[in-house]
Structure 1
């Protein structure tokens, strides 16, 4: 029955999901006729006559070929079925292309449609496996089955008719509820992926490309607050929903937000707990996923890479349609020339005299006029070939029509380039989603097979009156260790988790500490505790800021963040201009950075996604610089990432290094323009980040060198005092009047040894 809705998912004039879904249904011999009828019904109700005939023929041809193959007692696998469906679609599209003028473009479109049919069939098959095959009671869905079901849900949302009543939008409500539920049930990683999938669907429905970034952001928000329960999670989700809706003023989030929120709230809170949380969520996540399903992680990693490859393929498909033109090519000019000549010369009384008696001279003269107008936008009479001017009795009309045709062609090229730019933005975001899935697969921890270490830890803990049920040691992607411990104390004793970390560290041979979210005390109840490898360095911070005169708020925003145990991030954003508008711009950038980095996104992916979101916003909303310092607290290496930001200063023992930037702020160009510089930090060194409001207060051309000399002469180890000293020095240099919003961030770096 869902085939009717899936087959209504038409975009860009094609309907690949109908054929892909039919291919999956044909894997089951029973019910094929009904499946054909339902898919055909969806095609008939959603497409025009020409497209309807094409896909109905494809359905019939596909079913005949499948029947012929099975008649010879040959079993068809899902790969063969998908390839067969894709082949039929490509052949029919190529046949239809012979009947149209734009043959080459239609052939390329047919190949792209065939690829989508093939990929969608494989994804749909994974999503429908729980329906086709009997499962053990309580058996959990695999990662690929969840993503497959989510993809089917997204296509169904796309195919639902857009019914609006009293602020209630059925497609948007379904999309928002899926993002909320999946993010809450499976976490920020799945929430981001599902948000991206639903965002693509809503972008295709509404034409608002910012839906992709918005949905992805909401999926992260839903997953980030899941541990606090349904009420807090929904409040955070609603807040993000309303803030993003206000941020993107032209989106459907504003127009239909109230009804959508009410609908999502009703569904979310009425669902039974077992559907929202899954089976014993805490036990499953902390014990079953840690101990019982360790061997499934390698399988999940491989499958996630397969899905990542699918998103990469979709990204490549969109890239094929995103080529932009800077100038009219030879084919464009030839078509314009033919149209112009036919329009003006066909009914002219001298047509035969010019084009038959003097063909070569007439052709050369007319073409030179077109070239001259194309290059300069106009042409004077003395630049027209004399023979052409003497023969043409409609010379003035010919010149005016040439100018008009060239101008119209340039306008069409400009709009085509804007459309190609939007496709390129979608392709970039699809590519980054693929990278996110790759990273997610790499973040699956590798279980350690060192039984001796586990036994030694358990023995040492028992000696200290801690009864251990299970010990699991995992190695992260960076080689660091996490230890999961299920334990309780004997005879009513209480032992702090910090004391237990010391015991575990001595037994394992590495300094350990309790994870930030871990309980502080091990008591008489059996519970699971997490211990992580302690860092070698620590950071202390300070800041100082000053608003531009008469502005109640600063256009600068900043953040100090620890997204995981071994990483410290200092971020600074400067919105263009000053006042409330600049504040909102920089605040949105900082909030997105925090969400992306806390969710575990790569720094490159976070920067590119933020840039693509800002590119698709209204230009009048301005831009923002991005200044990031990402410090590894294990190794001491720091990555400085800049997009249009002012210089960063690295204060060492006897010198100050200045790290410059020549890149553009975020949101100016479609492809993110950023620079990454890596430096090794040592104990006692300081990082100093400042906005251009601080640097611009220094007179002369060598502003950065002046600040570097001031820092080198500064004799204090207090980050707060350093920040205040720099701010006061800059104000003093400009007569104690701030030229712009001023912000200084300082981080002191020290070894724990």
Structure 2
């Protein structure tokens, strides 16, 4: 018989393995869903919990658990209250018939009092603990009186203790019971809710006091199991808390369990400390605590039993599925699962926000497309239709009553139409005048030629006004489309920025903190937001020591050596000096910097200049220099130019493209007033990463670049802002270099020199003769030279801005850091 091919057997076996694993997971999921449905949805978990709480005692006499549990269930899940009541009475009956009767009467009395009190009490949750505490306190007094026939001080104290415990337990159960009744809990647990849950679980386990399996105490096994679970999930802090709380409640239920509290607390601490060893490490912690406490606290005869109880708890713990512990860990603060759940929630909120912003971006883009859609018909068809309407209006007032109407329009339609179309065109183009030849021919052809001329002239006035209005509407529509598109692009970029998740740089943060502290600099906290080349973003919290410039002189140079690029202090916050801390933000430095100088003067030496200027570094790695010259002089010109500069600055800082920004400003200024008030704009945008520059000149004078002995002129032809509702912006691009001087000026400087025929050649020569490259000195020298050539008179507002492009040389050299990898 031929042997089967091994290569065929292995895939089949692998498929069977995957199939079996899938079937196993499906079965586990099915069982889990069934158990959730049976215990939580149908409420049988409340029946079981009620049974255990019904038989739970405090100080061997008090039963403060039953009524608070029923009251909380009644208020939160009223349809499941009968199941809870059945469980409570059944549990109390295992103690004695008197306890069962007392529980039933207390519940019945609570229902009557609470239903009556609901009419006067607004908040049932706030009043519930008072109802429960008073009923149980009075019930305990009545029970003591019926049993002994008298009341003693001891009876009053016990009644007060029971009332106080029931008051507190009601508050705890109100927080904890939703955890037993909600199948899928989305919210994360607060610390108070966790403590309440632990108290409730410990209270439930007191119902197992007295139960034994093969001489092993069930309450000891379950309490140690509970400590193992929480130590494994949340570490030593929560583990020891669970041990102390559980042991305390057990000691209240039975004084003999006081030693057990020490064992639970110690095992919680050891188990939490050894949680890195997974379940085995936590289990070893319980065994060590059992040995130490068992040998110290009790005789050797019970040590073996205590070890067996701990072994049973460890067995249960090892058999606990990973799914259960991982699911519980999501709700406990401090765990990695809790942190992951929070990050998942924040990521979801971030994605939802980014999606909404992107949707708004799409809306603005759609609106832009709607405004920018041209008419379906072509311009020729539209012109023909408008010509037909125009011709109809003319013929209605001239040819309609003419005796030659039939001759002209029925027999010679094309000839008549061509003549009138040509006349309309000529009158439209030549301001009402018609060529002599056309006039002579039309006079021979038409008997009412004079009347036709007059009607066409009249109708042409309305036609031209209508055409101008349509043109303005089209231009305004196009401008609105550009503005909406600009807003759409800004919102889309904002959406992308939101979606850029902050990377986790825990290892790098620790290494940077360690390197700085080894150098002797104390750092409270380091947060890295980005390590991208050229876009480093790091925040630090450092102790404040009289501000000797540690951030700029020490920390930034050390970061420069660590990260392999120049890092500078962008911002240092001094608002936390009162509590001894200072916050500093470190960023990548730009490759180029711009050093500027400005000289300006008002006409005739006045105080108010019609020129305005601005030099701002935008948050996008760009530097903007702008000069605006308002028409005329004085306060009104200053207002117009200053308004232009302020609008430009605010729009550019939003990230909208320069051309759209200028068109928007032009629209605002042209529609704001009917006065013929215009302003020029000279804008230079310099990229600080590569020194490339874009120049947008709107009615402004030329700018000049001085590169050594070479002078480069920058010029563009655009009308001033506010003159036309729509215009195209010419953009001139130029690559700047380190050492270049960019000189921009208003027309008062460029055209200021008297007795000069060629302003451009004169300005180039003066710039070339400069012996300094300091921006402020250059601006002052140019201004002084212009005023001197005008015999000391200032005939117009004058402004000169000079910018020098320089390599960004760090003020402080990098400090070598030992034992630190570059770009950790």
Q: TM-score, normalising length from structure 2?
A: 0.50
Distance change in 2, residues 1:430/1:382 (3 Å): same
Match of 2:384 among 330, 339, 343: 330
How far the C-alpha of 1:556 sits from its partner, in A, is: 0.8
Quick check: 1:746 aligned with 2:802? yes
- Tell me the equivalent position of 1:375: 426
Corresponding residue SS for 1:515: strand
Q: What is the CA distance between 1:389 and its match in structure 2?
A: 5.2
**What is the aligned counterpart of 1:581 among 620, 636, 641?**
636
Gaps of 5+ in 1: 1-133, 139-287
Aligned mates of 2:804, 2:445 — CA distance in 1: 82
What's 2:512 paired with? 457
Structure 1 residue 587, shift from structure 2 partner: 0.5
Q: Secondary structure at the match of 1:615?
A: helix
Match of 1:720 among 766, 773, 776: 776
**Cα distance in structure 2, aligned partners of 1:480 and 1:343:** 74
| CA separation of 1:301 and 1:665: change in aligned 2, threshold 3 A | farther
Match of 1:429 in 2: 483
**CA drift at 1:586:** 0.8
| Contact 2:543 2:582 survives alignment (8 Å) | no
Contact 1:473 1:482 in 2 (8 A): yes
Q: Which residue of 1 aligns with 2:362?
A: 309
Match of 2:618 in 1: 563
Quote the Cα distance in structure 1 between the aligned partners of 2:632 and 2:626. Answer: 19
Deviation at 1:645, TM superposition (A): 1.9
Task: Please tell me whether the aligned partners of residues 419 and 442 of structure 2 are also in contact (alpha carbons under 8 angstroms).
Answer: no
Quick check: 1:708 aligned with 2:761?
no
> Does the 8 A contact of 1:558 with 1:573 survive in 2?
yes
Q: Confirm or deny: 8 A CA contact 1:544 1:745 kept in the other structure.
A: yes
Given the superposition, is the C-alpha separation of residues 524 and 685 from structure 1 closer, same or farther in structure 2, using an over 3 Å criterion? same
* TM-aligned CA deviation for residue 407 of structure 1: 3.2
**1:734 to partner: Cα distance:** 2.8
Going from structure 1 to structure 2, the CA distance change for 1:468 and 1:735 (only over 3 Å counts) comes to: same
CA distance in 2, matches of 1:317, 1:615: 24
2:681 alignment partner, one of 610, 613, 626:
626
Deviations 1:407-454 (A, max 9, x none): 332232222323333333322322222232234335555634555433
Partner SS for 2:368: helix
CA gap 1:651/1:137 in 2 versus in 1, 3 angstroms: farther
Structure 1 distance, partners of 2:699, 2:441, is 55
- Write the mapping of 1:229-628 to structure 2, written as runs, cut at 5 A: 293=346, 301=354, 304-320=357-373, 329-348=383-402, 351=405, 354=407, 359-361=410-412, 364-365=415-416, 367-376=418-427, 377=432, 383=438, 392=447, 394=448, 396-444=450-498, 447-448=502-503, 452-463=507-518, 464-469=520-525, 471-474=527-530, 479-485=534-540, 487-489=541-543, 496-498=550-552, 499-516=554-571, 518-519=573-574, 529-549=584-604, 551-564=606-619, 566-628=621-683
Change over 3 Å in CA distance of 1:289–1:312 after alignment to 2: farther
Tell me by how many angstroms 1:674 deviates.
3.1
Are the aligned partners of 1:311 and 1:430 in contact in 2 as well (CA < 8 Å)?
yes
For the residues of structure 2 that align with 1:700 and 1:747, how far apart are their CA atoms? 26
Instruction: Please state how far the C-alpha of 1:720 moved relative to its aligned partner.
Output: 2.0
Offset of residue 683 of structure 1: 3.7
The answer as to whether partners of 1:647 and 1:659 remain within 8 angstroms in 2 is yes
Counterpart selection for 1:666 from 721, 738, 758 = 721
Q: Is the 8 A contact 1:643 1:666 kept in 2?
A: yes
Kindly provide the CA deviation profile for residues 706-737 of structure 1, in whole angstroms up to 9, marking residues without a partner as x: 22222222222432221111111112223332
CA radius of gyration, larger in: 2
SS at match of 2:426: helix
3-state SS of 1:411 partner: helix
- Residues 33-68 of structure 1 show CA distances to partners (whole Å, capped at 9, x for unaligned) of xxxxxxxxxxxxxxxxxxxxxxxxxxxxxxxxxxxx
Compared CA separation, residues 333 and 624, structure 1 to 2 (3 A): same
d(CA) in 2 for partners of 1:637, 1:345? 66
| 1:282-323 Cα deviation digits (max 9, x unpaired) | xxxxxx999994786677556544432321221121223689
Provide structure 2 residue ranges, at least 5 long, that are not aligned to the other structure.
1-183, 189-340, 810-824
Q: Is the 8 A contact 1:648 1:689 kept in 2?
A: yes
CA distance in 2, matches of 1:460, 1:374: 83
Cα distance in 1, alignment partners of residues 700 and 446 from structure 2: 62
> Do structure 1's residue 729 and structure 2's residue 748 form an aligned pair?
no
SS in structure 2 at match of 1:431 = helix
**3-state SS in 2 of match to 1:516:** strand
Query: 2: CA distance between counterparts of 1:344 and 1:679?
Result: 62
1:649 alignment partner, SS class: strand
Partner of 2:218: none
Per the alignment, in what secondary structure is the counterpart of residue 760 of structure 2?
helix
Structure 1's 723 and 469: CA in aligned 2 closer, same or farther, altered over 3 A?
closer
Q: 1:522: how far off? A: 7.6
CA distance in 2 between counterparts of 1:391 and 1:720 reads 75
Distance 1:425 1:495, change over 3 A: closer
SS of residue in 1 equivalent to 2:742:
strand
Q: Secondary structure, in 3 states, of the residue corresponding to 1:662?
A: coil
Give the paired residue count: 465
Q: Aligned with 1:571: secondary structure?
A: strand
> Once the two structures are superposed, what CA deviation does each residue of 1:594-636 show, in whole Å capped at 9, x if it has no partner?
2223344433333232222223232425222222233333433
Cα 1:305–1:549 change in 2 (3 A) is same
Residue 24 of structure 2 is matched in structure 1 by none
Given that residues 397 and 455 in structure 2 are in contact (C-alpha distance below 8 angstroms), is that contact kept between their aligned partners in structure 1? no
Task: Report how far residue 692 of structure 1 moved.
Answer: 1.4
Retained in 2: the 8 A contact 1:561–1:568?
Answer: yes
How far is the alpha carbon of 1:370 from its aligned partner?
Answer: 4.3
**Residues of 2 paired with 1:669 and 1:748: CA distance?**
34
State the Cα distance separating 1:584 from its structure 2 match: 0.9
Distance 1:500 1:413 in 2: 67
C-alpha spacing 1:326/1:556, structure 2 compared with 1 (3 Å): farther
CA-CA distance at 1:675 after TM superposition = 3.5
Q: From the superposition, tell whether residues 310 and 737 of structure 1 become closer, same or farther in structure 2 (CA, over 3 Å).
A: same
C-alpha distance 343-679 of structure 1, shift in aligned 2 (>3 A): closer
Residue 690 of structure 1 corresponds to: 745
